[in-house]
Amino acid sequence: MTNKKKTIFIYSGEGTHGSESQMKLLRYSGLFQPISDILKLKHDMDLEQIWNQEIGQHQCPYSPLLTTITQICLSDIWNHWGYQPDLVVGHSTGEISAAYQAGLYDLEEILLLSINIGKVASNLSGAMVHGWLSESELKELPANPASFNFKDDTGIHLTFSGTTSEIVSLQNKKPDFVKMKIPHPWHHPLYHNYLDQLEHV
């Protein structure tokens, strides 16, 4: 008896799009036009204009929306190619697309959620860095750990999220840490202070 192979759709966070990303492929998705219509009629937003101005900037309020649109349009294309996921997994803003693919939200709801999260995230600026720490250094974490990435003989590789002052302090202690090209400290605990601004979906 052989085990059936599983199909998994994995959605990343803000790394989904870059400055050279084009919407040419996304237009083949049956969701592209409905998305454009919802944004125009419900939110007075022009998708092409936002895309041309904001793609690859990873700047809120628009980046979570562009990430979600890109991912759910690509998923729709995969569906039409015959790929249906047995499991969906999302990281960071990719969780929004995973929730849509899993059927937890409809198209209008998922777009509204992406817009609202982008608005909330625009309240907080900062940075993220990644690098190595030893086991002993973990006892006094210098900033908020966004993720524990992997471990080997040299230590543990982590991503840290923080306000500008927190990250400057961390890099003064760990100058080998690499700063990521994003303007917001995703996963930072301070985002909880803005939850009351997140309109219910």
What does the DSSP assignment read for 54-75? Answer: HTTT--TTTHHHHHHHHHHHHH
Range of the domain at 27: 8-121
pLDDT for res 1? 56
Residue with tokens 């509204």, as numbered in its chain: 112
Residues 106 and 133 in one domain: no
The model's pLDDT over 136-187, given as tens digits with 9 standing for 90+, comes to: 888 777 678 888 899 988 889 999 999 999 999 999 989 999 999 889 999 9
Residues 79 and 167 in one domain: no
pLDDT for res 142? 66
Residues 117 and 136 in one domain: no
Question: 71 pLDDT band (50/70/90 cuts)?
Answer: very high
pLDDT for res 31? 98
Is 103 buried (19+), middle (13-18) or exposed (0-12) by CB count in 10 A? exposed
- What dihedral do alpha carbons 90, 66, 198, 141 form, nearest 10°? 50
SS3 126: coil
Is 66 buried (19+), middle (13-18) or exposed (0-12) by CB count in 10 A? buried
Cα–Cα dist 47/76, whole Å? 18
pLDDT for res 64? 95
Residue 60 CB neighbours (<10 A): 23
SS3 35: helix
**Residue-averaged pLDDT of the chain:** 91
C-alpha dihedral sign at 159, 161, 166, 167: positive
- The count of domains in the chain is 2
Question: 2 pLDDT band (50/70/90 cuts)?
Answer: low
Point out the least confidently predicted range of 41-45, 50-54, 116-120, 136-140.
136-140
Residues 117 and 134 in one domain: no
This prediction has a pTM of 0.88
The token pair at 176 is 């080998």
